[in-house]
Structure 1
Amino acid sequence: MDSKKVEKNRVENKRISEIFEKIDKNKDGVITIDELKEALKNQQDSENEILGLMKSTDKNADDKMSFEEFLNFVQSRETHLKLAFRQMDKNNDNKISADEIQITMAELGMNIDIKEAEKLLSHMDKDSNLNIDYDEWRSYLLLSNARDMKDIIRFWRKSFSIDLGENMTIPDDFTPEEKLKGIAWKTLVAGGIAGCVSRTATAPLDRLKVTMQAHGAKAANHGIINAIKYMVNEGGVSSLWRGNGVNCIKIAPESAIKFLAYESYKKLIVNFTQNETGNVTLGEKFVAGAMAGATAQTLIYPMEVLKTRMCLRKSGQYSSIFDCAKKVYINEGIQVFFRGYVPNILGIIPYAGIDLALYETFKNLYLKSINHDKSASTPIYVSLCSGAVSSVCGQVATYPLALVRTKLQAMSKSDGKISMKNVSRDIIKNEGVLGFYRGIGPNMLKVIPAVSISYAVFEQTRHFLGI
């Protein structure tokens, strides 16, 4: 009996030693933080999570992980992983099926359909036999920070959405317990702070875009550099951030409304389809998300108009946001606060559909290029780039509607009959079809920095809030 135990320990130590040697690239007998990051580059772990993993393992605080420390970590992790595996293996056949994933997630308050369960399963199912054995389970989760079933599910489903200053369509799903603990609202706060910082950092490009959209060829013919010089000469460097205050202020109510509306629409859809399981399909989530986005946009749309007016104001024209609202109301009436509403709403669904579809397509193209199947994880930089490129494509497709919206928001009574039809006709007459894409250059320039800044701030804020 003892000899069998010794042999089992020898085999296990050899297996763990092989994993250690694979991570230890320079073969110096220790794992550094850089080597750990390299080993986890295909997992969507934030730097804070990787640092936390190293800290929990590095018992002597030398910023390195010895084989003994790694061995202790792996043995402890595998104890947790075995318990979680048994918890999900409902029929005790030492395999996990999509049905068992669906049942376990329902027990945790996360209702998903069978297709989503199958997609989760595919991330671990290396031999494509439509179930997960313990070796696949352990291999996938060994170096994660997940300790219990809830952590594992969260890690498994982990994805991130970046605030590009546009309409995010499908918000995150949260369990009842996460909502009770405030994780949902903390996540919204983190997203709001990230959005404020990224929008503030890219505000000059946003103002340049709005100016070129509103003034058409007149502004565009000056060129980007000359347009920036004009804005600085007219109002100083601070004028580059005109309208950014309103842009940041509207993030909080927009995010809160969208989240609450999304939850309500999901319940309505479940009731409408008479779905007794309570599962919401990806298509239904898309519909709920689009409706939530439209609801949020409707309620905060007056702030969109104020943002445009504040961006385009001359020095001294308005002393504050409230002064702007007051003067605009007195001069043009209440209806001005919903000018451009129709093209804005019309752009939400196609933008979201293109963005979501292309995001998955670009990620899959990357995996195919490196000879990985669709179940493999993608590095953070690939997800960031995929998100940025898909967002750009979505914006290009719906940019004419955004331009018409901005022109309508900027127009006053003296500009004659104000309508979507007249504005579109004037653009074609005076500038041609290309006129519908005035200002798209600055808009594209802000995407990459906005993505990078937003993601970095979001991760730091989540860590600070203890999510």
Structure 2
Amino acid sequence: MSSSDLKNPVFMAKSFLAGGIAGMTSKTAVAPLDRIKILLQVHNIHYKEYGVFTGLRAIIRNEKFLSLYKGNGAQMVRIFPYAAVQYMSFEIYKRGLSILFREAESGKVNHSLKFFAGSMAGVTSAMMTYPLDLVRARLAFHVSHAGVDGIKIPTSIVGTLVYVFQNEGRIVGLYRGITPTVLAMIPYGGCNFYMFERLKHLAVEYMPTICGYEKDGKTILNIPSKLLCGGIAGAIGQTIVYPLDVARRRMQLSMTSNETKKFSEGFLKTLNITYKDYGVARGLYRGMSINYIRAVPMVAVSFSTYEVCKQLLGLETGI
């Protein structure tokens, strides 16, 4: 790890590409679960009485199999730059902070700095790609066989962007829900990256023969261990920030019907209304079971794919 990496365009490009591929792979793997999670989070009128698996079956029955991937096109348009920027930013912030705060005598990197690097990377990527996240949520929320109560919603990426910009406050509309997103990204991005890097370190240090293999004089974590470390990191991060994710989705979809407009007035009020109307389990943590089912493998696949891509592109994957 050196300061020269921060000025190397090849390093930046490879990190960007590896991150984008990792994001697309992981999101596509769990796209059906992403859609049903959104429908459950916001109590969609057509699916509010269903559970995770009954909801998935109902989507196939009512809207056909490919409807499980509704919004995934927008997701791919969004997730490539989002994940690419996030992983590349993490590498930049990690290296920059490590150079600034490297322990003088031992030369070892302070792992706690990776929490701050992950937080900054999460906020950076969220700010740069948020309008596409809003579009993805709108498209996933739309139900094919039924009209939307009160307000007609476009069903294309560009159409939704234009509609929101023209009718919902221009830039303010495109960034509705950004506050809980940024607030969630600070602990979530930091926790994800920190836990993954920390677990990698522990696995290599204490179980090198089980969790890794030697290459060019270094111990490289094997794929099952990468998946396990990523899954644990994802589970911890999701548990911490899930209520903010619920608030974000409700705010993003607040202008899709007259009934949900009350969620457009700020994230604290959205959290408060959700709690009063539905409580903790059925409100603030609504859809949490499916979130574990989707988030744990998603984060595991994302980190693992990123690490494998780094190896294929000749980038350092050490701790």
Would you call these one fold, judging by a TM-score over 0.5?
yes
Aligned to 1:422: 269
TM-aligned CA distance change 1:365 to 1:299, over 3 Å: closer
Kept after mapping to 2: 8 A contact 1:411/1:418: no
- Which residue of 302, 310, 333 corresponds with 2:169? 333
Give the aligned residue type for 2:125.
A
Q: Structure 2 matches for 1:388-427, cutoff 5 A?
A: 388-412=231-255, 414=258, 415-416=261-262, 418-427=265-274
Aligned to 1:129: none
Aligned to 2:49: 221
Query: Which is worse superposed, 286-295 or 454-463?
Result: 454-463
Aligned to 2:158: 322
Say yes or no: does 1:252 pair with 2:95: no
Give the aligned residue type for 2:292.
M
Structure 2: which 5+ runs fail to align?
Answer: 146-152, 212-221
Kept after mapping to 1: 8 A contact 2:234/2:300: no
Q: Structure 2 matches for 1:127-146, cutoff 5 A?
A: none
Kept after mapping to 2: 8 A contact 1:231/1:240: yes
| 1:204-239 deviation line (CA, Å, top 9, x unaligned) | 001111111122798453112332233223432111
| 1:282, distance to aligned residue in structure 2 (A) | 3.9
Aligned to 1:189: 17
Aligned to 2:2: 110
| 1:403, distance to aligned residue in structure 2 (A) | 0.8
TM-aligned CA distance change 1:269 to 1:190, over 3 Å: closer
- Structure showing greater radius of gyration is 1
TM-aligned CA distance change 1:459 to 1:248, over 3 Å: same
Say yes or no: does 1:385 pair with 2:277: no
Percent identity, aligned pairs only?
29
Work out the CA distance in 2 between the residues paired with 1:294 and 1:213: 23
Residue 215 of structure 1 aligns to a residue in which SS?
A: coil
| 1:366, distance to aligned residue in structure 2 (A) | 7.3
Kept after mapping to 1: 8 A contact 2:6/2:95: no
TM-aligned CA distance change 1:193 to 1:302, over 3 Å: same
Structure 1: which 5+ runs fail to align?
Answer: 1-108, 112-173, 368-372
Q: Structure 2 matches for 1:299-314, cutoff 5 A?
A: 299-314=128-143
Kept after mapping to 1: 8 A contact 2:246/2:285: yes
Give the aligned residue type for 1:425.
N
Work out the CA distance in 1 between the residues paired with 2:90 and 2:304: 26
Aligned to 1:346: 183
| 1:53-112 deviation line (CA, Å, top 9, x unaligned) | xxxxxxxxxxxxxxxxxxxxxxxxxxxxxxxxxxxxxxxxxxxxxxxxxxxxxxxx626x
| 1:465, distance to aligned residue in structure 2 (A) | 5.4
TM-aligned CA distance change 1:465 to 1:404, over 3 Å: same
Give the aligned residue type for 1:110.
S
Give the aligned residue type for 1:441.
S
Residue 315 of structure 1 aligns to a residue in which SS?
A: coil
Kept after mapping to 2: 8 A contact 1:192/1:252: yes
Kept after mapping to 1: 8 A contact 2:89/2:121: yes
| 1:300, distance to aligned residue in structure 2 (A) | 1.2
| 1:176, distance to aligned residue in structure 2 (A) | 6.1
Q: Alignment length, in residue pairs? A: 290
Give the aligned residue type for 1:391.
G
| 1:422, distance to aligned residue in structure 2 (A) | 2.5
Give the aligned residue type for 1:328.
V
Give the aligned residue type for 1:409.
Q
Say yes or no: does 1:298 pair with 2:135: no
Aligned to 2:290: 442
| 1:328, distance to aligned residue in structure 2 (A) | 2.4
Output the TM-score relative to the length of structure 1.
Answer: 0.52
Residue 339 of structure 1 aligns to a residue in which SS?
A: coil
Give the aligned residue type for 2:123.
A
Kept after mapping to 2: 8 A contact 1:217/1:438: no
| 1:198, distance to aligned residue in structure 2 (A) | 2.5
| 1:157-195 deviation line (CA, Å, top 9, x unaligned) | xxxxxxxxxxxxxxxxx8369x35x24423431332232
Aligned to 2:217: none
Say yes or no: does 1:175 pair with 2:18: no
Residue 318 of structure 1 aligns to a residue in which SS?
A: coil
Q: Structure 2 matches for 1:222-237, cutoff 5 A?
A: 222-237=50-65
Give the aligned residue type for 1:287.
F
Query: Which is worse superposed, 451-460 or 380-389?
Result: 451-460
| 1:326, distance to aligned residue in structure 2 (A) | 1.6
Residue 387 of structure 1 aligns to a residue in which SS?
A: helix
Work out the CA distance in 1 between the residues paired with 2:234 and 2:24: 19
Work out the CA distance in 2 between the residues paired with 1:392 and 1:332: 35
Work out the CA distance in 2 between the residues paired with 1:197 and 1:450: 9
